[in-house]
């Protein structure tokens, strides 16, 4: 199964999704959106391309927050997949969210523990919020941030997750 992982699209103010991403979405089996869609129109547009499962983020309009949950635990091709935006209270984020975004630094372990506690039964956790792509294994579980589709520091990306009989493989695709 081929799953597109997107987050932090921020449409608007980002005017539209990149053509490269739209072309790729047409070839997947499922789209997972880890929040900060901003408006429901984007969700409708994604649903027209392929089944889309999403959660709300901290920058979403009230209508999106009312319609979408904060987190979801899904079964995807026999794997338990947690989906969450990942934002927390500012005072908590200050403990691990540093300007250099070093996902290998000890303070970020606080965040990884948070994700694992949010989804104790998940094999894979997809999250967003930081606009920086990361793929890491913690305690035998795969954690993936596809980055931000909306350009962030001149960087834009999404993720692809392939799940098969031999396991799962994730990659980051630059836009």
| pLDDT on residue 24 | 95
The count of structural domains within the chain is 1
Confidence of residue 13 (pLDDT cuts 50, 70, 90): confident
* Average pLDDT over every residue of 40-49: 94
pLDDT at 74 over 70: yes
* Average pLDDT over every residue of 23-52: 96
For 91-115, the pLDDT digits (tens) are 777 666 665 667 777 777 888 999 9
**Domain CATH number, residue 40:** 3.60.21.10
pLDDT at 44 over 80: yes
| Residues whose CB falls within 8 Å of the CB of residue 129, separated by 6 or more in sequence, listed in order | 7, 8, 34, 35, 36, 57, 58, 85, 86, 87, 145
Ramachandran region, residue 129 (left: φ > 0; alpha: ψ -120 to 50; beta: rest): left
| pLDDT on residue 1 | 97
| pLDDT on residue 14 | 75
What 3-state class would DSSP assign to 47? helix
The answer to whether the beta carbons of residues 145 and 133 sit under 8 Å apart is: yes
Higher local confidence (pLDDT), 22 or 98? 22
**Radius of gyration for the chain, computed over Cα atoms and rounded to the nearest angstrom:** 15
- Give the separation between CA 127 and CA 133, rounded to whole angstroms: 10
How far, in Å, are 83, 87, 118, 174 from residue 124 at the CA level?
9, 18, 12, 21
Range of the domain at 94: 2-174
> In the numeric block, which tokens belong to residue 142?
């795969």
| pLDDT on residue 96 | 65
Look-up: residue for tokens 């949950």? 69
pLDDT at 38 over 80: yes
For 46-70, the pLDDT digits (tens) are 999 999 999 999 999 999 999 999 9
Percent of the chain having pLDDT more than 70? 94
Confidence of residue 117 (pLDDT cuts 50, 70, 90): very high
Mean of all residue pLDDT scores within the chain: 91
Q: How many CB atoms lie within 10 A of CB 27?
A: 11
How far, in Å, are 28, 41, 71 from residue 38 at the CA level?
23, 9, 16
């Amino acid at each position: 199964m081929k799953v597109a992982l997107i987050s932090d699209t921020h449409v608007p103010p980002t005017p539209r999704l990149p053509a490269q991403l739209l072309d790729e979405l047409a070839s997947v089996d499922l789209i997972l959106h880890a929040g900060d869609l901003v408006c429901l129109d984007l969700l409708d547009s994604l649903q027209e391309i392929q089944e889309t499962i999403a959660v709300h983020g901290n920058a979403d309009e009230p209508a999106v927050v009312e319609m979408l949950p904060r987190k979801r635990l899904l079964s995807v091709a026999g794997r338990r997949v947690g989906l969450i935006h990942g934002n927390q209270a500012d005072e908590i984020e200050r403990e691990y969210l540093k300007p250099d975004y070093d996902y290998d630094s000890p303070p970020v372990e606080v965040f990884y523990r948070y994700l694992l506690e949010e989804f104790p039964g998940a094999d894979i956790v997809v999250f967003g919020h930081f606009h920086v792509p990361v793929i890491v294994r913690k305690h035998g579980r795969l954690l993936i941030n596809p980055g931000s589709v909306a350009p962030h520091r001149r960087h834009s990306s999404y993720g692809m997750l392939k799940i098969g009989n031999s396991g799962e493989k994730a990659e980051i695709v630059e836009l």
